[in-house]
Amino acid sequence: MHNGVILTIILTGLRLGVPVMLAAMGEVFGESAGVLNVGLEGMLLLGGITSFMVAASTHSALLGTLAVIPVALLAAELLGVYYIRLGASQIVTGIVFNLLSLGVASYAYRLYCPPGTLAARIQTVETTLWGIPLPVFPVIALCVIMHLVLMHSRFGMAVRAVGEAPAAAEAAGLDVTRVRMAALRLSCIGGALAGAYLIVCQIGLFRDSIVQGQGFSALAVVIFGRWRPLAVGCAAVLLGCLDALQFSLQAYVPGLPPQVFLALPYLAAALATSGLFGRMHQPAALTIPWMAGRRVQ
């Protein structure tokens, strides 16, 4: 490939990787605290439909983006009841939440754009710097900030403590439930902002299938990045580059079915979670419920 093609793939991959990066940035906090938020896919859907409806009504991409935050906080409270307070299975609860979110988003879209009416579109953010959309730069800065917070702040230390040894953290005076709820809120906000980015910066319209598994890709990226925000951000960009690579490969290898190239990012995500890239040390208390003074078996 020519240098220009490679540069285009990198720039496109950076743009395509931002939604996964945003979702993964929040999820790395959740998992570091011991909460596996399988409901990320649903959060992207809820963030997408909320940002679409608000941006289309107000003609403001900024308001559409900000509107997803209270929705994410409400969803975090709902998920927190089951994940944290009741000690329910985080995987089963997350899957149910994804199905519920799909139904809610589809119903809200049909109320906003009834069948038979012209589908609404919004103006996407098209301002660029060096060929990169401007919203990408604050997301990269956020990645650095999240790394510093998780790895070098008191709050980050508390998050990692309750994810590794909740009993010891509680004995040291930490409120395990409170810290895990804070981490879950960050996870839900990250997922909702990822959905908003898809709508206001990339696509400009809403469809039920708009997320296309990016929430699950974010879960894989967190594992591939070894629960370190900077590495997770780089893994998200790599996944975006593979997504961009499929378009170039279709031109260079025209004989293969396009489905082979479409599967590249998902194959990479599957390999990332397989352990082929080295031994992984996940947070010891990941998915293990905790109530004051005892684990929930």
Q: Which residues pair with 150 in a beta bridge?
A: none
Secondary structure (3-state) at 291: strand
Q: What is the pLDDT of residue 119?
A: 65
Per-residue confidence band for 266, with pLDDT thresholds at 50, 70 and 90? low
Report the distance separating Cα 153 and Cα 144, nearest Å.
13
Beta partners for residue 245, in sequence order: none
Indicate the fold that domain 17-277 takes in CATH: ABC transporter involved in vitamin B12 uptake, BtuC (1.10.3470)
> How many C-beta atoms surround the C-beta of residue 274 within 10 A?
12
Please report, rounded to a whole number, the percentage of residues in the chain having pLDDT higher than 90: 42
Greatest mean pLDDT among 41-50, 105-114, 212-221 lies in: 41-50
Provide the pLDDT confidence category of residue 283 given band limits of 50, 70 and 90: confident
Query: Residue 41: pLDDT band by 50, 70, 90 thresholds?
Result: very high
Query: What pLDDT does residue 202 have?
Result: 83
pLDDT at 123: 73
The residue type found at 51 is S
**Alpha helix (H) residue ranges in 81-127:** 90-112
What is the reported pLDDT for 259?
A: 64
Question: What pLDDT is stored for residue 269 in this prediction?
Answer: 63
DSSP 198: I
Q: pLDDT tens digit string along 63-108?
A: 999 999 999 999 999 999 999 988 889 999 999 999 999 999 999 9
Summarize pLDDT for 169-208 with one digit per residue, the tens.
998 888 999 999 999 999 999 999 999 999 988 888 888 8
Angle, alpha carbons 88-97-238 (nearest 5°): 105
- pLDDT value at 140 more than 60: yes
| Burial (0-12, 13-18, 19+ Cβ within 10 Å), 253 | exposed
Q: State pTM to two decimals.
A: 0.87
H or E segment at 133? strand 132-133
> How large is the average pLDDT for residues 8-19?
81
**Which pLDDT does position 68 carry in this prediction?**
95
Nearest to 142 by CA among 190, 202, 95: 190
- What confidence score (pLDDT) does residue 297 get? 46
Per-residue pLDDT band for 141 (boundaries 50, 70, 90) equals: very high
Say yes or no to pLDDT of 2 above 70.
no
Return the SS3 of 89: coil
Q: In the prediction, which pLDDT does 60 show?
A: 87
Measured between alpha carbons, how far is 204 from 55 in angstroms, rounded to an integer? 9
Euclidean distance between CA atoms 123 and 105, whole angstroms: 20
CA distance 113 to 264: 34
Tokens coding 276:
């082929």
> Position 28: which residue type?
V
pLDDT at res. 17: 86
Residue 223 near residue 280 (C-beta atoms within 8 A): yes
